[in-house]
Amino acid sequence: MNLLWLQSAGCGGCTMSLLCAEDPNVLELLEDAGINLLWHPAISEATGAEANAILQSVLSGDTALDILCVEGSIVTGPNGTGRFHILSGTGRPMLDWCRSLAPLAEHVVAVGTCAAFGGVTAAGGNPSGAVGLQFDGSQAGGALASEFRGRAGLPVINVAGCPTHPGWVTETLLLLASGALGAEALDGFNRPRFYTDHLVHHACPKNEYYEYKASARRLSELGCMMEHLGCIGTQAVGDCNIRPWNGGGSCTRGGYPCIACTSPDFEDPQLTFTETPKVAGIPVGLPTDMPKAWFMALASLSKAATPERISKNAKSDRIEVAPKPKRERSG
Amino acid sequence: MTELIVGPFNRVEGDLEVRLELRDGAVAAAYANSPLFRGFEVMLDGADPRDALTLTPRICGICSISQSAAAAHALADAAGAEMPEQGALAAAILHGVENLADHVTHFNLFFMPDFARLAYEARSWHSEMVERFTAAKGASQHAALEARARLFHVTGILGGKWPHTLAIQPAGVTRVPDAADRVRIVSILKSFRRHLEARLFGGRLEDFAGLSGLADLEAWTQGDAGLFLRASADLGLAEAGQGPRRYLSYGAYPLASGRVTRAGVWAGSGVSDAATGEIVEHVAQSWMLGTAAHPYDGATRPDEAMGAPGYSWCKAPRLDGQTCEVGALARQIVDGHPLALALADEGSVRARIAGRLLEIARTQMWLEDWTQALDPTAQFMGDFTVPKSGRGVGLVEAARGALGHWVVIEDGRIANYQIIAPTTWNFSPRDADGQPGPLEAALVGAPVAEGETAPLSVQHIVRSFDPCMVCTVH
């Protein structure tokens, strides 16, 4: 099956992350899945007129387009023209290219939060008029109408993340290639549920601190980053702490907060990315599926019950007090 | 005179269009267009200064840590904050890993596949190139891809993930490595060295880093480096794509003991201090409104009419009114490495690739030394408070060269944020005086054969700079 990859208005980081795929490497994985890379801006030989010929052949229908991957937001500025991003050598805005190519594709995949929702390119007043392929932030309808469906019947599949985990992209492509990704496999923002049915909170190494609301006060301290440091891993979808990044990492494992980069509008935090907004000293944006009063009651109880080991370690940048299981022998 | 537009120009990071004026089978004039505007400097206007640490890495998915380090240093400069010695060391390891990986990605995925093209079928080295570097299939590409992914495990350990880590902060790093982390990093680096020595160099890194002149370089026949040098000699790449031969480096890797490579400008005879206060960004031939200014006083106001004589969203930075080439070659020349100095006057496609190979060998060795010096018992994070007002500059060396962030803070918010990325220097459009940017000048004279739509000479020259177009305009 044929895959065409376009880089629209983004940073290219989702491709760079994809190239970190391991066992097998991404090129082998695609080949073994029978996915033929028609063209990819970072990988393919074809450049200039050769690349243009490939695009024209898809447009004319001579080459079948099974999967169209778009990485990066679609810029609509200035004034709705899309001319802040003209696909080089073609004189046509990427906005037009996406609108022409998407209806020809069996499946359209938005790779990364920019392509899905606008993402970071839409931050800070959105100077370029960036939108996602089928969403503008959390609003349905982006460069393509909300009614758009690929020829196979699915809406744009939003593999959101900033960047995307290589596994999220490869597994989406593998499922598509094997005909195993249906509408029921997508969540309310059309993200693949195989990774959005999890929260970043799941398997976060700071979970014990969270249980006791033993909080870090500044970056590098081991405690939970929800109360003070802007972490919204309890509300952010993603299996970031279940499957490793780059061999074993994640944002919270790296000592900095989850900023919910898989979510629409994450790019404009209420306060700043690394500080929790509070009302009367209470963090806003507590877990959404738990009554607030219960949360507060449990939090104050658990805070009062915090073992010294946890409260000390939470405020340290390394383990100060080791756990002492009952059966540990002394000496 | 005929005109040729080359685009989409792939195997460069981001979007590039090159317009060529051809005369007598060669390029008579070239115009580099960066056709994407996103406006990060505009986004940061009025933002909490700390947001720059999250947003600016997302300018670029391949220079992400470089952007992060520049932002951290700019904020630290504005606040008078400093990283503890070990925090700076951990930040250097993170940054060095990215730079090393970027060089290897460029060589294997972006630059070399052009030599496997059918057009070179008759050349003696072609079949080896096909086997090693055919796009998406080459054996060296696959080996490099896998080695690169393993190398990035270092960023998994120290930085959580790559790209777009938030681990580097103005006053240090967010994760303290323990003793086990340190030995794991040592072993990951050993594995990467094995890859480099077996594939890329076909010999010891110390031997390549010890080359001291052109004769030494030309005698290096082993590994993929040797294969490149053979093709280069055959195609005359030592005479192709000569840059301005004025090289700028801010000095790489600020450690407590000073920068690991020297900062300065090399222009024909020796190194002088880089007067970064004299940097001016021109906008006369950019799709930008406003006037030429130092980045502290600069503005980013896109000309939505995209009016002439503008032809690119990129501004045109000049130092003392002149263009500068930046990158691995520039860094190694300014640092005074004998091989780089021998290549300085050549300033060619070959020189840029050799400079990058040299830096791959040296960076791997630096990373090994830094990891040995990592002390898990030390302090990695100091104090940082956002100042009410002030200004600061963060100057670092990305894989592709000199990267600067200039921030002005008023009332605790960002009042101005200006960025000059490496490729802003290398691929700048013409300035107010009509002076072409380094790439534009380097392309003049490149041979174009009858019927070529994307002249191979032009492709080699463009890619030899390893442009990062997403950083360029940002």
pLDDT in tens, A93-110: 999 999 999 999 999 999
- B8:A274 CB<8 A: no
CA dist B366 and B147 (Å) reads: 18
- B135:A44 CB<8 A: yes
B175 has a chain A CB within 8 A of its CB: yes
**Do residue A132 and residue A272 come from a single domain?**
no
- The number of angstroms, rounded, from the C-alpha of B382 to the middle of its chain's C-alpha atoms is 29
CA dist B324 and A177 (Å) reads: 48
CA dist A181 and A241 (Å) reads: 24
**Do residue A191 and residue A206 come from a single domain?**
no
Residue (of B208, B260, B217) closest to B238 by Cα position: B217
Neighbours of A242 (CB within 10 A): 14
Which residues does B334 contact at the CB level (< 8 Å), separation at least 6?
A: B247, B248, B249, B251, B261, B262, B263, B264, B265, B266, B271
Which residues 102-161 of A have a C-beta within 8 angstroms of B?
120-121, 123-128, 130
Query: Each residue of B185-228: pLDDT tens digit?
Result: 999 999 999 999 999 999 999 999 999 999 999 999 999 999 99
Output the pLDDT for position A330: 56
Output the pLDDT for position A331: 47
Residue A171 maps to a domain: yes
Residue A323 maps to a domain: no
Give the angle subtended at the CA of B24 by the CAs of B23 and B28, to the nearest 5°. Answer: 35
A246 to chain B, closest Cα gap in Å: 5
Q: How far is CA B224 from CA B104, B159, B193, B200, B353, in A?
A: 11, 31, 15, 5, 12
Which pair of tokens denotes residue B216? 């030494």
Query: Each residue of A236-257: pLDDT tens digit?
Result: 999 999 999 999 999 999 999 9
Pairing state between β A92-93 and A36-39 = unpaired
CA dist A125 and A45 (Å) reads: 37
Residue A221 maps to a domain: yes
A218 has a chain B CB within 8 A of its CB: yes
Residue (of B446, B445, B329, B377) closest to B86 by Cα position: B377
Output the pLDDT for position A301: 93
Peptide bond into A307 cis (omega under 30): no
Output the pLDDT for position A329: 62
**Do residue A146 and residue A247 come from a single domain?**
no
Peptide bond into A78 cis (omega under 30): yes
How many helices (H) and strands (E) are present in chain A, helices listed first? 10, 13
Which pair of tokens denotes residue B8? 């989409």
- B152:A20 CB<8 A: yes
**Do residue A192 and residue A208 come from a single domain?**
no
Query: Each residue of A74-92: pLDDT tens digit?
Result: 999 999 999 999 999 999 9
Q: How far is CA B437 from CA A217, B317, B405, B440, B470, in A?
A: 48, 9, 21, 5, 17
Query: Each residue of A176-203: pLDDT tens digit?
Result: 999 999 999 999 999 999 999 999 999 9
- The residues facing B172 across adjacent strands are B169, B381
Residue A330 maps to a domain: no
Region of A141 on the Ramachandran plot (φ > 0 left; ψ -120 to 50 alpha; else beta): left
- From first to last of its 474 residues, what are the pLDDT tens digits of chain B? 899 999 999 999 999 999 999 999 999 999 999 999 999 999 999 999 999 999 999 999 999 999 999 999 999 999 999 999 999 999 999 999 999 999 999 999 999 999 999 999 999 999 999 999 999 999 999 999 999 999 999 999 999 999 999 999 999 999 999 999 999 999 999 999 999 999 999 999 999 999 999 999 999 999 999 999 999 999 999 999 999 999 999 999 999 999 999 999 999 989 999 999 999 999 999 999 999 999 999 999 999 999 999 999 999 999 999 999 999 999 999 999 999 999 999 999 999 999 999 999 999 999 999 999 999 999 999 999 999 999 999 999 999 999 999 999 999 999 999 999 999 999 999 999 999 999 999 999 999 999 999 999 999 999 999 999 999 999
User: pLDDT > 90: what percent of chain A?
Assistant: 91
Question: What CATH number is given to the structural domain containing A235?
Answer: 4.10.480.10
Residue A5 has pLDDT above 80, yes or no: yes
Output the pLDDT for position A326: 82
**Do residue A123 and residue A180 come from a single domain?**
yes
CATH number for the domain formed by residue range(s) B2-473? 1.10.645.10
B367 to chain A, closest Cα gap in Å: 18
For CA atoms B39, A142, B166, B150, the dihedral sign is negative
Which residues 59-78 of B have a C-beta within 8 angstroms of A?
59-62, 64
Average pLDDT over residues A307-316: 98
Which residues does B354 contact at the CB level (< 8 Å), separation at least 6?
A: B217, B229, B329, B339, B343
Amino acid at B404: G
Q: Burial level of B454, CB count in 10 A (0-12/13-18/19+)?
A: buried
Chain A partners of B156 at a C-beta cutoff of 8 Å? 244-249
Output the pLDDT for position A287: 74
**Do residue A288 and residue A164 come from a single domain?**
no
CA dist A112 and A15 (Å) reads: 9
Residue A118 maps to a domain: yes
Residue identified by tokens 């060998």 is B361
For A48, which of B9, B137, B158 is closest by C-beta distance? B9
For an interface test with B, the pick among A4, A11, A87 (most B C-beta atoms closer than 10 Å) comes out as A11
Domain end call among A178, A196, A214: A196
User: What are the structural domain ranges in chain B?
Assistant: 2-473
Mean pLDDT of chain A: 96
Pairing state between β A157-159 and A105-111 = parallel
Q: How far is CA B296 from CA B137, B254, B282, B390, B405, in A?
A: 46, 22, 14, 11, 9
Output the pLDDT for position A327: 76
B53 has a chain A CB within 8 A of its CB: yes
**Do residue A119 and residue A237 come from a single domain?**
no
Residues in chain A: 331
Domain end call among A177, A196, A215: A196
Mean pLDDT of chain B: 98
**Do residue A223 and residue A94 come from a single domain?**
no
Residue A111 has pLDDT above 80, yes or no: yes
Residue A321 maps to a domain: no
**Do residue A180 and residue A214 come from a single domain?**
no
For B6, which of A43, A89, A123 is closest by C-beta distance? A89
Residue (of B200, B212, B428, B235) closest to B349 by Cα position: B235
Query: Each residue of A137-184: pLDDT tens digit?
Result: 999 999 999 999 999 999 999 999 999 999 999 999 999 999 999 999
Residue A284 maps to a domain: yes
Query: Each residue of A15-51: pLDDT tens digit?
Result: 999 999 999 999 999 999 999 999 999 999 999 999 9
Average pLDDT over residues A219-226: 98
Residue A235 maps to a domain: yes
The domain tally of chain A equals: 2
| Domain that includes residue A55, residue range | 2-196
Amino acid at B294: H
For A42, which of B11, B36, B178 is closest by C-beta distance? B11
CB A249 within 8 A of CB B160: yes
**Do residue A185 and residue A75 come from a single domain?**
yes
**Do residue A34 and residue A169 come from a single domain?**
yes
